[in-house]
Amino acid sequence: MFNPINLAVVETPTKQVSVWMKLAKKIDWQQIIINIGGKILEIVLFILLFWVIDRLGKRLIHHLFLTNANTSDTANNRISTIFTLSLNIYHYVIMFFGIYAVLSVLGVPVGTLIASAGIFSVALGLGAQGFVSDIVTGFFILLEDQIDVGDYVKIETIEGTVSAIGLRTTQVTSPDGTLNFIPNRKILIISNQSRNDMRVLIDLYILTTTPVQDLTNVVRETNSDLVSQYPDIIGEPDIQGVTTQADGTLVFRVQFYVKNGMQFAIQRDFLAAYLDAARAAGIQLPSPRLNIAPTHK
């Protein structure tokens, strides 16, 4: 005799399998395969299309920048930075449209997703304001050729040589070796001392009893001996003679115009030479101090 309990246990899985088989027969597998295959084909074609567009665009950008390349290292640094920025912007724009196309093929409501992400985008935008401002300011610093690597500049209270110019920060090395990272959005005024001829003022502090004519002769003879050794000096030194500073102190002033970047070296050499020559001539001078006022010619 059959056990009804065992029979029920055996028949239940069989019936479930039978139901699934009937459902499977009702499914149009051929149409599903065609639909899936069609979408895969569309996705592959879109990927290939945007890959080709990306490659062609990058080649065109590279060609445009290559034709404008300059032999100057500093100019090439600027062009290279703008070139990299252009490539990245182009690449991400193409990537955005490519992802949009693929999601559309898959039936994802991209427009709805973008609309629903509006609040998040606003919050993100507010948080990224400083970052965007850095990039925009850095781009125009490069585009307008305001500074180059190697320029001696003064930005706010920071003074030194430009080490690197990026889209987010500008790096300036101070005379003592300190490397300053300045966010581009903080750069409001740039004093570039490496674009024009620079003026150097050398003030020799004197006494009321100092023999001015003797000191003038000493300075003139020193200039005659040294100027020819410094091709970066423009024209002849201007011996302005005795003048007073804001605090009423008497000084004997000599003015130079030199090529940018050489003002400090020439100042040091000539100051030392003037002091040595005055001492050798027996002219007594008070403790000398230097006053350099670089200006544009």
Nearest to 294 by CA among 166, 159, 171, 180: 159
Pair (186, 209) in one structural domain: no
Contact 183, 134 (CB under 8 A): yes
DSSP letters for 25-41: HHS-HHHHHHHHHHHHH
Q: Give the whole-number percent of the chain exceeding pLDDT 90.
A: 22
- What per-residue confidence (pLDDT) applies to 48? 92
CA dist., res. 293 & res. 254, Å (int):
12
Q: Work out how many domains the chain is built from and give that number.
A: 3
Is residue 138 included in any domain, yes or no?
A: no
- What per-residue confidence (pLDDT) applies to 235? 87
- What per-residue confidence (pLDDT) applies to 7? 46
Which residue segment(s) compose the domain that 167 sits in?
Answer: 147-192
* Beta strands, E only, the chain: 152-155, 158-165, 169-173, 179-183, 190-192, 198-205, 238-244, 250-258
- What per-residue confidence (pLDDT) applies to 195? 80
- What per-residue confidence (pLDDT) applies to 183? 92
Q: Is the pLDDT of residue 229 over 60?
A: yes
Q: Is the pLDDT of residue 147 over 50?
A: yes
- What per-residue confidence (pLDDT) applies to 216? 92
Pair (170, 212) in one structural domain: no
Is residue 21 included in any domain, yes or no?
A: yes
Pair (157, 265) in one structural domain: no
Is residue 130 included in any domain, yes or no?
A: no
Nearest to 263 by CA among 230, 216, 218: 230
**Interacting residues of 211 by C-beta distance below 8 A, sequence separation 6+:** 283
Pair (227, 210) in one structural domain: yes
Nearest to 58 by CA among 94, 98, 96: 94
Mean pLDDT of 2-21: 56
Taking each continuous run of H as one helix and of E as one strand, the counts in the chain are 8, 8
22 versus 173: the higher-pLDDT residue is 173
Pair (188, 235) in one structural domain: no
pLDDT digits (tens, 9 = 90+) for 24-81: 666 666 667 777 777 888 888 888 998 999 999 988 988 887 776 655 555 666 677 6
- What per-residue confidence (pLDDT) applies to 106? 80
Is residue 132 included in any domain, yes or no?
A: no
Pair (177, 254) in one structural domain: no
- What per-residue confidence (pLDDT) applies to 292? 47
Q: Is the pLDDT of residue 15 over 50?
A: yes
Pair (181, 210) in one structural domain: no
Q: Range with the lowest mean pLDDT among 1-10, 145-154, 223-232?
A: 1-10
pLDDT digits (tens, 9 = 90+) for 166-198: 778 899 999 899 999 999 999 999 998 888 888
pLDDT digits (tens, 9 = 90+) for 100-143: 888 887 877 766 666 666 655 665 566 667 777 888 888 888 88
Q: Mean pLDDT, the chain, as a whole number? A: 80
Pair (112, 3) in one structural domain: yes
Contact 270, 295 (CB under 8 A): no
Is residue 210 included in any domain, yes or no?
A: yes
We report the CATH number of the domain holding residue 185 as: 2.30.30.60
